[in-house]
Structure 1
Amino acid sequence: MVFARTHNNRKRSNKVNTVLRPKNDNFKAVEKELGLKLGNLTKLTQQVQGIIKKQKEQEATKKAKKVWNVNEIDYDNGVEEDADAIFKALSNSGTSTSSSGPNLLKEASSGNLQVDDLTDWANPDTTMSIFPKVHSYVELPTSIADQLDDAALQSIASKETANWIPVIDKLYEDPSCLQNSSSYEAHVLLRSIPKVQRPAVISKFYEIAKESGLLDNSYLYNDILSCYNKMDIRRSKPIIEKLYKEMTVEKGLKPDIFTIGVMVNMYGKDRNVNGVRVFLRKIEELGEHPNSAIYTSILQMYIRMNEYESAKEIFDTMKFLSLETEPTSRTFSSMILLDTLHDNVEHGIDLYDEMKTKNVKIEAQALLALAKGCSTRRNLIHQGWSFILEYYSLGYPASYKLMEIMLALSARDSDLNFARGLYLNIFETNTKANHGILTPPRAASLKYLLNAYYYFQESMVPNSVTDTRVRAIKASSLELMNFNFSDKAPPMLPVRDLSFADNKAAIFEEARALFNYHMLMFPDMVSEQIMEAYLFVLAVHSDTKTFLEAWEKYTYLENGGDGASNDETVTVEEPKEEEKAKENEFTKKDDDNEKLPVEKELDKPPKRFPRSDRLYNACMHAARNYKDVKFAQKIWIERGKYRKTPAFQKLDAYTQDQLDFRFARAMLSCLVETGNAVDAYQLVLSSQNRFVWTYYHLKSLFSLCERMGFVTFKTELEKVVNRGARFIRRSQR
């Protein structure tokens, strides 16, 4: 039954189709007629769309003049991307000129169109090109787009390859070409240009706006000022000052909070505190309050000036003043970096915890700065690795800076094998990236590697042993070690584990070979800091003789001032060029030309460094480890001569006192370590009028006096400590 009913329905359907189906010729005619109607409808739609676009642009211009005073600040890289006018209210007030199909038809039926508006569509003589007109990737106001030819539009047809210079050049050919445009439309044009290209076209844009009479308000001036503010301060400062004078004095336009923000940022970049204060007073005259961008500009100024306490004060003001001035993620990162640079990583960690509490985005720079700061504290190494792990978990990319900070952490963590692997991997990566040309890591990486040899202790348990995540990173690094990536690769022992028992000699020999290798291959890379790090390695892994050989070979004492005697054996002066040449003549052999290039390099005199306070401290550290009082006394005498050199005398009195006090503490530590209680006691008593000795400084000496039964010494030392405490209390009032 079902089959029969279905079959009958099919027959009935076929009959209906036969009746309704026209003949073949009639069908083609209908199809042609419908095609013509569809084409006409499409043309009508395009025409109506253009008319509505013009109407909406005119309405937007009228609205713009009424709400012209509302700005949104978009920051650049200097101060959260520096102030750049966007005009938020104008952008969101219905001024968009784009329309969709349904909206277009709805507006077309509202009765706003006139018959004359359809003349072009109704004219049969109107022709259409078979090639579509070139359009820019961003929609420009009609009054501006009409001034551009296909060549100019073609240069901005794609967002990825857009070049706005030909566009501005085309408009610049007739500087008054925008006289029929509004200043808001000029703002739209400038805002359409990517920020990186604005500095290249802003001077011509200014001329166009000026000739077209569009510079009749402060808001387009703000656009131009912010563009110039993205340039180098030495170039932009005189231009910005001239434009500000033109705006306020010549044209009598009143600056707003945005204008003042640009000026504060400019003077902040110039480190001009007085200029910043002048414009802060102008904010008060306006009855306004500094916003987050202005506070950030001031904070960045103090960061550039290295005014740490002032920067902290501004940052705290931003936090507690209002929600509108709450620091952004970038501002938090800047403050954390400043904390790290001033050895106050604890404050940076507090800020990190605050960011977590407030759900502020943790930037990559903040995590790296915190990890770097933790590498200077043995008790914070685990915390430093947690920042590295969080960096990975947030998906931030691996970078050279990341590898370098991991190297610093592993060095302080007594993880010598990890540090070796990281350094070798960086070396190989740099070389491959430079097309096989031997390219070492930065000098900072070499310093961290030498620190790894210095800090290594077999009894220490690094985080790569206790933390499985750090262990995985270390295993990957060691797996990638390629000791022979180049025939001139650094001279590391071809083993991944150099920290096995009874291997102290191997550790020292590798460190010495690496230092000599860099002195030979990359002498410009070796600085005073590298020399200091190497001397500390010698201080813990060698003896007095080896240390003195390096001291004499790589350092020299500059000619001192009054009272410097030339007969002291401790004085080693840099040889003159004539003496070097004479010495080379005596040592020259007949077969000199037959020497290998490496042998000739070894014959060259080594790079030498003038002895400085930091190098003398390394010597005192060595004397303490060697328990060699005579060596310490010898260094003490020579440093007295060094104090008469121009290098030391040009320092201010406060810095000289600080350096002297640090060296005196190092000498005291050496005397206490060797059990010389009498000499240590006399050192403190003789310098109590110059230095403020506290119990913290003298704790080890108190303990030594108790063990040796020097009751009188202890009583006198307590008087010295009390005297220092009174001085500190008076200075804090």
Structure 2
Amino acid sequence: MDNRLLRNTVRLEKVLPRFVRLTRRNVSSVKGSSPSRGSDINRRRRRRRINVNQQHIQNQESKVLDDKIRELQKLAQNLKIQISTKKEKQVESEFKNLDKPITDDELDDIVSEILDAPKPNTLLLTDDIHNNNNNNKGLKLFDEPARGIQFSKPIIERIGISIQNVLSNENLKWDNLIVDLYENKNGFDGLENKDVYQFLRQIPSNFKLSPSSIEKIEKMIENRKTSSAATINEEILMNLYANVENVEKVESLYQSLLLNQKQLNPPVFSSLIKVYVKSKNLTKINEILLKMKELKLEPSLFNYTNILSLCVRLQDSKQAEQIFRMMKFRSLETRPDILAYNNMIQLQIKKKNVYKAIDYYQELLDEGLKPNTYTFNALALACSKDKKFISKGWYYISEINKRNLDPNLTTFETMLRLSARDGDLELARALYLKISEIKPDISNDQNITAGNESLNYLMMAYRDYKPNHKPQSILSKEISIIRRNTIQMVDFIGLHQNLIKDNGIIKKRENLPPFLPLKTIFMKDQIISEAKAIWSFNVVKNPNCLTYNNLITFLRIFVEQNGDKHDFLQNFEQYTYPNKEVETQLKKKSVDNSIDTNEILRAELENYQVETQQESLVSIENLPPVLKYVKSFNHKIERESSLYYTLLSSGKRFNDFKICENAWKERGLYRKSSKYLSFPLKIRKELDFKFAIEMVNTLINFNQLDLAYNVVKSSEDSFPWNFYVLKPLYVALKDNGYYDLSQDLSNICDIRKHIPL
């Protein structure tokens, strides 16, 4: 926006009441005027008619004038709001001389200029010849660098038309500018030191140039380096190399400064701290802090915040809290900003301490800081980890809207987590589709999926759906509006429309997940069918989504939604395979008369395929093209303890003892494999204890009480059995007359006995 227009807008705000008052006075004076008296009656009647017409015209003019005044007030207010969002320093510099009085003669000019503000210039010289990116803005004839970037006249003359690369702060292309300067414009040759320094200082401190561009800058400096500019240039180069995490170059430049006994300035240490933070080297950071203390240099807020973020990434809560307290009480300049508080909230998320995260939020409000979108995303994410905080999580999402902040991809992903935890399948489906639409645009990749975590939470929503459950997002009027708007943002029916002839839209739809053309699904068959289609789609598009967490959540859908046992076994066999050592033992059939689990699963599937062959053919025909060849992909992961646990649990739920038997026999072989034995002893004992608990519960379910008791008795010296865990077995033994066994079980669960894992 033109600076003069901004200045005049604020000046208009000041004089607008006087302008309105004077205008209304003039209109009133016109309204109050009356025609001169005359003796002739006809003349009086004619004048009376004229007065009526004049009054009508004056009323209309007054109404139009009122509308214009309201329009002026609204326009001035809108512009004032835009001005208030600028940085304080920029605002102060723009409005230094606004307090000088405005004469009546200037008033009409100001009003006229605002009402007749120039429209955008359409006479643009497009840069398609120089760049194939059609999203770039055009280059005007007399363009200057983007706001905040200031080049000296020699630099502007040197870079010429390459200035197009730094016209927009939203789309800076420093790499293109530097390459052109190096290859076509003789670099810095012939430029004064001050011009070179000013040019380099315009590169944002956190901008990540390509390593090759930084090397070109270094070569351009070396070709004309002088002693007066060497230290300055080395500081800048250190920062540029720190942005690309080049520890070797940063340390080399630092050693050069020490060797030449150059003055060490705070920016030098800032670059060192930045690069060591990115390489997670706390030891080196402590050395730098000691060096700064020796030179009596105080770390800046930027330095402290960087170190704090590293402690959070390393989940070193003790040191993070120490740094945070130091920032509070060291000086006013180092008091924690919103970034520091966001880091502390993030730390509490990793510790799953929701209460502490909320305390930090309240503290930053008390400090007068303004939370941003990241703050509310982080708080909502913390709340999504515990079901009793779901409504609080939705409150933080609504705060983004209340404070006129912009939601981002993380906001939608956090909303998906909340809806999945809350069993809100309708909202989870809409959010997953929305994420699938916007994520490729952000990543500039048309083949990217919504991501592994988003897939896991969508599968969780399918798994935990209950027909009569009322999600917490509909209990609040404000949040229910957000929920409704989110669902209306996506079009499930449009995914299946074939009337569209636009190839771009068709291609985009092919990259979207194959949802059913229904806004709401609630039937078991619908849920399982759609979950299978979405899962297969993701495995084909992004095989990396085939993780243990995702697969287990997907397999549990068949169990929790009362799906078909054979369907579960088919997917278990399709996406998993046994450890090689286990497979060898299974083939020998020499360990405890073990039965080949694969043979059992295949036998089960053969019966199932005979019964449902016709149905399968029909369903495949209805699948999108991308899913018709999903069977040809052999994407599998090796079975490990969590998968055997899932298999055992599913056998219990499907009431099939054979599945359970095969699960613990195959896992028994897996326990003896070299891979399992490579785990630390503590982890192995934890996994074994968890599986043993599920074995006991499974045997109780099949009324195999003596076997359940034997599992506990044989491991009483290995696992910390307690009455809370074994209460179901204790009750079952007493109810079935096994009083001696129940008494022995009570002794095993003696509260004085404690065997740590």
Give the shorter-chain TM-score range. Answer: 0.5 to 0.7
Pick closer, same or farther for the CA change 1:432–1:331 going to 2, 3 Å.
Answer: closer
Pick closer, same or farther for the CA change 1:327–1:675 going to 2, 3 Å.
Answer: farther
Aligned to 1:715: 746
Aligned to 2:226: 211
Q: CA deviation at 1:372?
A: 2.8
Structure 2 SS opposite 1:607? coil
Verify: 1:160 aligned to 2:190, yes or no: no
The gaps in structure 2 that reach 5 residues or longer are 1-88, 98-141, 499-509, 602-620
Q: CA deviation at 1:262?
A: 2.6
User: 1:224-623 to 2 correspondence within 5 Å?
Assistant: 224-230=237-243, 232-233=244-245, 236-249=246-259, 251-287=260-296, 290-305=299-314, 307=316, 310-312=319-321, 314-315=323-324, 317-319=326-328, 323-427=332-436, 440-479=449-488, 480-486=490-496, 492-499=515-522, 503-519=523-539, 525-540=545-560, 541-560=562-581, 564-566=585-587, 567=589, 568-572=594-598, 601=629, 604=632, 607-623=635-651
Q: CA deviation at 1:563?
A: 9.2
User: 1:107-126 to 2 correspondence within 5 Å?
Assistant: none
Structure 1 SS opposite 2:754? helix
Pick closer, same or farther for the CA change 1:628–1:379 going to 2, 3 Å.
Answer: farther
Structure 2 SS opposite 1:683? helix
Pick closer, same or farther for the CA change 1:325–1:560 going to 2, 3 Å.
Answer: farther
CA contact (8 A) 1:152 1:170 kept: no
Aligned to 1:54: none
Q: CA deviation at 1:451?
A: 0.9
CA contact (8 A) 2:422 2:472 kept: yes
Q: CA deviation at 1:455?
A: 0.8
Pick closer, same or farther for the CA change 1:623–1:271 going to 2, 3 Å.
Answer: same
CA contact (8 A) 2:146 2:167 kept: no
CA contact (8 A) 1:368 1:405 kept: yes
CA–CA distance in 1 between the matches of 2:728 and 2:656? 18
Pick closer, same or farther for the CA change 1:290–1:438 going to 2, 3 Å.
Answer: closer
2:679 to 651, 662, 665: 651
Deviations 1:305-334 (A, max 9, x none): 455655455445545666554332122223
2:235 to 217, 222, 227: 222
Answer with 427-436 or 695-704: which moved more. 427-436
Structure 1 SS opposite 2:493? coil
Structure 2 residue identity aligned to 1:640: G
Structure 2 residue identity aligned to 1:242: S
CA–CA distance in 1 between the matches of 2:448 and 2:664? 40
Pick closer, same or farther for the CA change 1:365–1:717 going to 2, 3 Å.
Answer: farther
Q: What is the aligned residue count?
A: 566
Q: CA deviation at 1:212?
A: 5.1
1:150 to 145, 149, 157: 157
CA contact (8 A) 1:556 1:572 kept: no
Q: CA deviation at 1:193?
A: 4.2
Pick closer, same or farther for the CA change 1:293–1:681 going to 2, 3 Å.
Answer: farther
Q: CA deviation at 1:237?
A: 1.9
CA contact (8 A) 1:665 1:697 kept: yes
User: Whose relative contact order is higher, 1 or 2, with alpha carbons under 8 Å and at least 6 apart?
Assistant: 1
Pick closer, same or farther for the CA change 1:632–1:190 going to 2, 3 Å.
Answer: same
Q: CA deviation at 1:535?
A: 0.9
Structure 1 SS opposite 2:264? coil
CA–CA distance in 2 between the matches of 1:296 and 1:573? 58
Structure 1 SS opposite 2:228? coil
Q: CA deviation at 1:406?
A: 1.8
Deviations 1:578-623 (A, max 9, x none): xxxxxxxxxxxxxxxxx99889736636533321222222223323
Structure 1 SS opposite 2:653? helix
Q: TM-score, length-normalised on structure 1?
A: 0.65
CA–CA distance in 1 between the matches of 2:518 and 2:328? 52
Deviations 1:493-541 (A, max 9, x none): 4433323xxx334433433344345556765654443321111111212
Structure 1 SS opposite 2:405? coil
Aligned to 1:724: 754
Deviations 1:328-363 (A, max 9, x none): 212222333344345444443332233233233323
Structure 2 residue identity aligned to 1:225: M
CA–CA distance in 2 between the matches of 1:701 and 1:444? 37
Pick closer, same or farther for the CA change 1:602–1:167 going to 2, 3 Å.
Answer: closer
Q: TM-score, length-normalised on structure 2?
A: 0.63
Structure 2 residue identity aligned to 1:722: R
CA–CA distance in 2 between the matches of 1:386 and 1:187? 48
Pick closer, same or farther for the CA change 1:625–1:345 going to 2, 3 Å.
Answer: farther
Pick closer, same or farther for the CA change 1:364–1:148 going to 2, 3 Å.
Answer: closer
Answer with 393-402 or 551-560: which moved more. 393-402
Pick closer, same or farther for the CA change 1:290–1:426 going to 2, 3 Å.
Answer: closer
Q: CA deviation at 1:437?
A: 7.1
Q: CA RMSD in A?
A: 4.6
CA–CA distance in 1 between the matches of 2:344 and 2:442? 34
CA–CA distance in 1 between the matches of 2:744 and 2:380? 44
Structure 1 SS opposite 2:581? coil
Q: CA deviation at 1:452?
A: 0.8
Structure 2 SS opposite 1:210? coil
CA contact (8 A) 2:730 2:742 kept: no
Q: CA deviation at 1:687?
A: 3.2
Pick closer, same or farther for the CA change 1:716–1:295 going to 2, 3 Å.
Answer: farther
CA contact (8 A) 2:312 2:346 kept: no
Deviations 1:97-134 (A, max 9, x none): xx99xxxxxxxxxxxxxxxxxxxxxxxxxxxxxxxxx9
CA–CA distance in 1 between the matches of 2:705 and 2:249? 68
Pick closer, same or farther for the CA change 1:493–1:682 going to 2, 3 Å.
Answer: same
Structure 2 residue identity aligned to 1:350: D
Pair member with larger Rg? 1
CA contact (8 A) 2:492 2:519 kept: no
Identity %: 25
Pick closer, same or farther for the CA change 1:426–1:245 going to 2, 3 Å.
Answer: closer
CA–CA distance in 2 between the matches of 1:599 and 1:135? 51
Structure 1 SS opposite 2:520? coil
CA–CA distance in 2 between the matches of 1:289 and 1:147? 37
CA contact (8 A) 2:152 2:198 kept: no
Q: CA deviation at 1:247?
A: 1.2
Pick closer, same or farther for the CA change 1:209–1:520 going to 2, 3 Å.
Answer: closer
